Structure 1
């Protein structure tokens, strides 16, 4: 049997604490601290708790060169083969071998791949969590964390400040002043199809394209993109749009069309709330947009690149701002959030992890007539 180490793995020495009554009764502080090693490997579904012996044994193998093992194999190696930190050419270990080969072919920078995998939420209720911790209000945040860093930064200068003139307010200035995150959507009023189509055209459609050689095409959109690749796809949860059946869709930017996808296993409203990690105020929007970069398109150009992941995050931010401004111009409310359950979204839309995955969710639609959930609008531009 031939063995090598998996393509990427990081080991973290982790400490956790728990209440221990015995410690308290014996005169201690009642806190028991435990230390362990945790392995983070992007080709695996989750983190692994390993021993120090496992860490050392894993490091003895190359991720590139195969090592021939003589039988019998000791207990440590069997454990590492079973969990996927070591890869073998034997059929019994084929699943881990295939997963590692798939990851190897995606050309991730390893630290970014670990971040992408480890940061994905699975069935998290962020609202319940904040309420339980008491961090759902400013007063609760102050009690838990103290005062935040100041809203502005004061640096020591080498001379007097240089005052700048203020320009006359333009239509664009007025539009940006009205750009306020909406947390109060009208749960009854459907969005007109014409407005829905205009939003998608402005934010996601391709206005032009150029083919530089066979199979190499670049799209022109209203929003910038790293390398001009426009790798971010728009997947939609349509809940209330006139003339369009509620359901899941993929937006086709060259055709300016929707492709219906299989419905989620949950009722649509329940799925929307689950996808939004319990943020029911966002889940009520008539249209939810999943910003899901096609990572394989970015990595075609930026292979194993330390900036590729950052560029994809910037792309999503650019698209989000375009959506905000377009919605504001049309009199609609808009939002964006990264507090999402990526695993449930991937399952519903059939997105293979590490190849194509949700980075954030936005949405748009008509505002409610009354503000029941606080919105940040200090200028009073909306409310």
Structure 2
């Protein structure tokens, strides 16, 4: 077996100790001088025999134990292992945005609070200190009173004022035509723009940085008339659904959304992923990662407004079981990763 230092490591000082953080494996560990020296030597693949030659004063058993410990802590990866494959995929495919965008991987699969336990939710959400102010004031600066906001003067303004996040839904199923409208108006291609540098670019109802449109959407149909319960990928240009081999259920929907049970009571969920190479191709700095997140946010608001206009009850959530969703969608979690989920039903 050969091994090398993990490529997905960040190091920083915390409480007087040097900490190594493997953002791919989401492991943090403090390292002593010996471990740091060893990591420095193992930038390339190294066999046991080569390592023993580097450490002539150490017993083979102690070296073997040190390697096992560093592998278990995520500081080394073993050749041919799943950890090594993930490490290589991330460091190669995300090279333009690393190490800054290691945040994306380090925040996947977060442990969420049990929302069914009010005591646990309160303990986790309400610290002893008072919350920060909800509004920012500018004392001492001249203040100008504005005219009162007028009543809604257009259908759009009425929709904007009516938008709310819903967590209760009726048992009424959604017509397939309504789901089709949601998909077309939120994620569908509405036209094309010809550019001299980048050629033909798709246009949609939400803005996208550089018109790269990295966000894909997968429909999780739970109660959609004329559509079997399941997960489907939406093609935004052809306006078609491709069925994935996943048996959707209210229980699975709740699991996807960090065990928020209300999500399983919706008629349909829309799972948004990002295909990062689309944006990386044009933007080579890690700041573009922010743009991908903004793109998903634009789509979430477009969805909520469109659903409200259709008389539906929308919600959106970023509390997700990333790895579970990515496994079921058949995506690798590196070049394409889940970001955001919206859902809808009829209001109670």
Provide TM-score, normalisation by structure 1.
0.76
Q: RMSD of aligned C-alpha atoms? A: 3.3
| Distance in structure 2 (CA, Å) of the matches to 1:234 and 1:315 | 13
Does residue 117 (structure 1) correspond to residue 105 (structure 2)? The answer is yes
Kept in 1: contact 2:114–2:121 (CA 8 A): no
Give the match for residue 278 of structure 1. Answer: 259
Give CA-to-partner distance per residue, 1:95-151, whole Å, 9 cap, x none.
3554333222213523444322221227856424x6352418xxx955x43431222
Query: Which residue, out of 236, 244, 247, partners 1:253?
Result: 236
The count of corresponding residues between Structure 1 and Structure 2 is: 333
| Distance in structure 2 (CA, Å) of the matches to 1:85 and 1:216 | 44
Give CA-to-partner distance per residue, 1:225-268, whole Å, 9 cap, x none.
1121000010121001111111011111001111100114xx62
Give the match for residue 337 of structure 1. Answer: 317
Q: Secondary structure at the residue paired with 2:333? A: coil
How many Å apart are 1:80 and its aligned residue?
7.6
Kept in 2: contact 1:40–1:114 (CA 8 A): no
Give the match for residue 115 of structure 2. Answer: 127
Kept in 2: contact 1:276–1:341 (CA 8 A): yes
Give the match for residue 162 of structure 2. Answer: 178
Give the match for residue 7 of structure 2. Answer: 7
Kept in 2: contact 1:127–1:277 (CA 8 A): no
Give CA-to-partner distance per residue, 1:152-193, whole Å, 9 cap, x none.
1112344x212333454322222111000011111x210011
Give the match for residue 220 of structure 2. Answer: 237
Provide TM-score, normalisation by structure 2.
0.82
| Structure 2: stretches of 5+ with no match in the other structure | 56-62
- Sort the Cα spacing of 1:98 and 1:193 in 2 relative to 1 into closer, same or farther, 3 A: closer
Kept in 2: contact 1:81–1:93 (CA 8 A): no
Kept in 1: contact 2:20–2:31 (CA 8 A): no
Give the match for residue 362 of structure 1. Answer: 342
How many Å apart are 1:38 and its aligned residue?
5.0
Give the match for residue 99 of structure 1. Answer: 86
Runs of 4 or more above 4 Å deviation? 1-5, 12-15, 35-38, 65-71, 122-125, 210-217
| Distance in structure 2 (CA, Å) of the matches to 1:249 and 1:54 | 51
| Structure 1: stretches of 5+ with no match in the other structure | 16-34, 369-383
Give the match for residue 165 of structure 1. Answer: 147
| Distance in structure 2 (CA, Å) of the matches to 1:54 and 1:345 | 40
How many Å apart are 1:77 and its aligned residue?
7.0
- Sort the Cα spacing of 1:259 and 1:183 in 2 relative to 1 into closer, same or farther, 3 A: same
Give the match for residue 293 of structure 1. Answer: 274
How many Å apart are 1:277 and its aligned residue?
1.2
| Distance in structure 2 (CA, Å) of the matches to 1:208 and 1:55 | 57
| Distance in structure 1 (CA, Å) of the matches to 2:104 and 2:301 | 23
Higher mean displacement: 337-346 or 165-174: 165-174
| Distance in structure 2 (CA, Å) of the matches to 1:46 and 1:251 | 31
